[in-house]
Amino acid sequence: MNNLLNISNSLLLIVDIQEKLINAQFEKEKIAKNAAILAEAANILKIPTVVSEQYPKGLGSTIIQVKERLSADTKFFEKTSFSCVEEEGFPEFIRIFNKKQIFICGMESHVCVHQTVSGLLTEGYEVHIIQDAITSRKKWEYKTGLQRMINSGAVPTSVEIALFELLKNAKHPDFKAIQNLIK
């Protein structure tokens, strides 16, 4: 299996990076910045993006730093299940995009991200976890969640690794725009 990300076969999933959750998170500034970079890169590269929001009525919507960089056709999905995959309609909803690789960022590593990744792997997707765009309230919860996802078969990666895998080479027409995001 070639587990390098490919633009034509990828989808970005942003899990629950919401207003009332972000302030309690470990490394919240880094996560907000990196999730925004991923959102903008997906927009530039025309990669479909799905954003989940855990009970937005109570926890608020996706943070503005991410929201303002999303493409106009980004799909939002409200949920109350910790796993996106366990939410009614989500598995069918995500199949519409016909993508096999899902790169994922969000909160919290040990709850919603972990359970979503587990469900996506069970559904047969190749899941790439963007470690520097995932967080939890406590560092040890973050690390435990990442370890569980990796042990389950998720591909560990970072923002820069993912972006350069998607580009493939410096001759890509969007290379400069993507490079400017990470300078």
Active-site entry in 16, 99, 105, 132: 16
Q: Indicate if the alpha-carbon torsion angle 141, 111, 10, 125 is positive or negative.
A: positive
What Rg do the C-alpha atoms of the chain give, in angstroms? 15
**What is the phi-psi region of residue 74: left when phi exceeds 0, alpha when psi lies from -120 to 50, beta otherwise?**
beta
CB-based contact 75:51 (threshold 8 Å): yes
Q: Is 75 a catalytic residue?
A: no
Q: Is 132 a catalytic residue?
A: no
Active-site entry in 84, 105, 112, 132: 112
**Residue 157 — φ and ψ, nearest 5°?**
-155, -175
Q: DSSP assignment, residue 113?
A: I
Q: Is 16 a catalytic residue?
A: yes
Number of Cα atoms under 13 Å in the Cβ half of residue 1: 11
Active-site entry in 79, 99, 105, 132: 79
Catalytic residues: 16, 79, 112
